[in-house]
């Protein structure tokens, strides 16, 4: 019984659904604030202290808006796709050890890194389907762009994620974080830098925000969406952003591990995880704000001609210098 209570609390409240939701909204705010400061603007500043409640206000507004399903769409797909994408992203986050262990205790297993990456890929299919089901030329182009871009960049992302796994001799995220006595970002910076770049493309941030380039294709895949369904799509995007940032944290920055000074180690874990992820978010936003949007052909060529060979090379380098690296991390 007691065990069940822990299970329910961990899944629904902390560090499960509710906590993740708050975290996602916080990062949404942070992202907007950072972008605004880069652009010489204020950013959200009216709702709550420093406008921190703005994302909540936005989602409440979206949820209360009229929800239109255009006549010509495939209704089932149109409704199901955003929910599917959202659920898959949330599920994927359950395997990220935010307070040192997975959301569902003991669910960590050898290979959950692969599972997380798979879930993210599947969720992106959901996003693709949402655009495809809209039967709108803007959505259609946006959806095909998601597929072209995402599927291309998934390959180098997975190859690069194998670097830390190789060094930790494990495919379990918890083991990878635990084995980082020295953050892998310092041990193999080449891998980390490439991972950052590829992640930027995976998260569809500038200069890779092609699938929803508003001056070209209005809203991209989400053009026909409104109200609750749009809220789910937006939430999925926010969750994907959090997954991306936390993947860097767990794979390269030692995850939730850090000095525990006093009190409950779980809280310190959460603290270190947050600090590291905020740093990652800052860097991602930085890249996003100093570049213009690339074109789909440039992005696709850049992937196949540059990033895939480079990621293979970086993995090869990791394998070759592994004995040396092992001396460093001890």
Partner 1 sequence: MEMFETAVKVLRNNLADAILELTVPRPRKAYILLKPERHRDAVSLILKHVEDAELSTISGVDLGNEIELNYHMACGGTVTLKNRVSREKPVTRTITDILPGANLYEREVFDLLGVTFEGHPNLERLMLPENWPKGDYPLRRDWEPPTNPENESYSEETLQTESAVEQDDADSIVNIVMGPQHPVLHEPERFTFKVDGETVVDAEMRLGYVHRGIEKAAERMMYFQDVFLVERICGICNAAHTTVFCQAVEDIGNIETPSRALYLRTIIHELNRVHSHLLLLGVAGHLLGFEALFQHVWRDREPIMDMVEQITGNRLMSGFNTIGGVRRDITPSSIEKTLKTVKAVRKRAAFYKNVFEEDATLRLRTEGVGVLSKDDALKFCVVGPVLRGSGVASDVRKDDPYAAYGEIPFNVICYKECDTWARLMVRVEEVLESLDIIEYALGHLPSGRLRVRVQRKIPEGEAVNRVEAPRGELIHYVKSDGTAYPYRVKVRSPTLANLVSFPEIIRGSYIADIPSVIGSFDPCFSCTDRMVFLDAQNGKKWRWSLDEVNDQKP
Q: Which stretch binds partner 1 (CB under 8 A): 23-31, 39-47, 50-58, 232-240?
A: 39-47
Query: Is the CB of 53 or the CB of 296 nearer to partner 1?
Result: 296
Q: State in angstroms the smallest separation of the CB of 151 from partner 1.
A: 16
Residues in 200-219 that interact with partner 1 by CB under 8 A: 206-207, 209-210, 213-218
Interface with partner 1, residue 274, by CB under 8 A: no
Query: Is the CB of 18 or the CB of 68 nearer to partner 1?
Result: 68
Q: Which of 21, 35, 117, 158 binds partner 1 (CB under 8 A)?
A: 35
The encoded tokens of residue 147 equal: 């597929």
Residues in 41-60 that interact with partner 1 by CB under 8 A: 41
Q: State in angstroms the smallest separation of the CB of 77 from partner 1.
A: 16
Nearest to 74 by CA among 131, 144, 128, 134: 134
Angle at 41 between CA 39 and CA 46, to 5 degrees: 145
First vs last C-alpha separation in the chain: 42
Q: Which of 6, 75, 137, 321 binds partner 1 (CB under 8 A)?
A: 137
Q: Which residues contact 254 (CB under 8 A, 6 or more apart)?
A: 177, 180, 183, 184, 272, 276
Dist CA 241 CA 244 (whole Å): 5
Contact 108, 173 (CB under 8 A): yes
Q: Which residues contact 291 (CB under 8 A, 6 or more apart)?
A: 206, 207
Q: State in angstroms the smallest separation of the CB of 223 from partner 1.
A: 10
Tokens 């905020």 — which residue?
278
Interface with partner 1, residue 132, by CB under 8 A: no
Residues in 281-310 that interact with partner 1 by CB under 8 A: 289-298
Contact 284, 200 (CB under 8 A): yes
Interface with partner 1, residue 91, by CB under 8 A: no
Interface with partner 1, residue 72, by CB under 8 A: yes
Chain residues binding partner 1 by CB under 8 A are 35, 38-41, 71-72, 135-138, 140-141, 206-207, 209-210, 213-218, 289-298
């Amino acid at each position: 019984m007691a065990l069940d209570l822990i299970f329910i609390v961990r899944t629904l409240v902390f560090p499960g659904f509710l906590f993740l939701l708050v975290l996602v909204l916080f990062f949404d705010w942070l992202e907007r604030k950072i972008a605004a400061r880069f652009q010489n603007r204020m950013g959200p500043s009216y709702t709550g202290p420093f406008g921190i409640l703005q994302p909540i206000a936005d989602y409440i507004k979206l949820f209360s808006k009229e929800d239109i399903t255009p006549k010509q769409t495939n209704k089932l797909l149109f409704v199901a796709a955003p929910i599917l994408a959202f659920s898959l992203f949330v599920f994927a986050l359950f395997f990220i050890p935010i307070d040192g262990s997975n959301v569902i205790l003991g669910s960590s297993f050898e290979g959950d890194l692969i599972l997380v990456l798979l879930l993210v890929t599947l969720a992106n299919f959901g996003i693709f389907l949402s655009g495809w089901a809209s039967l709108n030329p803007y959505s259609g182009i946006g959806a095909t762009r998601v597929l072209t871009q995402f599927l291309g960049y998934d390959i180098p992302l997975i190859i690069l994620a194998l670097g830390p796994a190789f060094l930790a001799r494990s495919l379990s995220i918890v083991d990878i974080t635990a084995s980082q006595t020295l953050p892998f970002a310092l041990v193999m910076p080449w891998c980390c830098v490439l991972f950052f770049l590829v992640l930027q493309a995976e998260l569809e941030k500038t200069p890779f925000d092609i699938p929803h380039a508003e001056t070209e294709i209005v809203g991209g895949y989400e053009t026909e969406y409104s109200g609750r369904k749009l809220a789910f799509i937006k939430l999925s995007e926010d969750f994907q952003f959090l997954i991306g940032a936390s993947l860097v944290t767990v794979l390269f920055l030692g995850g939730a591990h850090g000095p525990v000074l006093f009190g409950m180690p779980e809280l310190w874990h959460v603290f270190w995880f947050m600090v590291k992820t905020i740093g990652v978010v800052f860097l991602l936003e930085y890249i996003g704000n100093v570049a213009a949007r690339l074109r789909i052909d440039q992005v696709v060529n850049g992937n196949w001609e540059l990033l895939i060979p480079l990621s293979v090379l970086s993995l090869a380098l990791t394998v070759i210098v592994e004995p040396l690296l092992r001396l460093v991390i001890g």
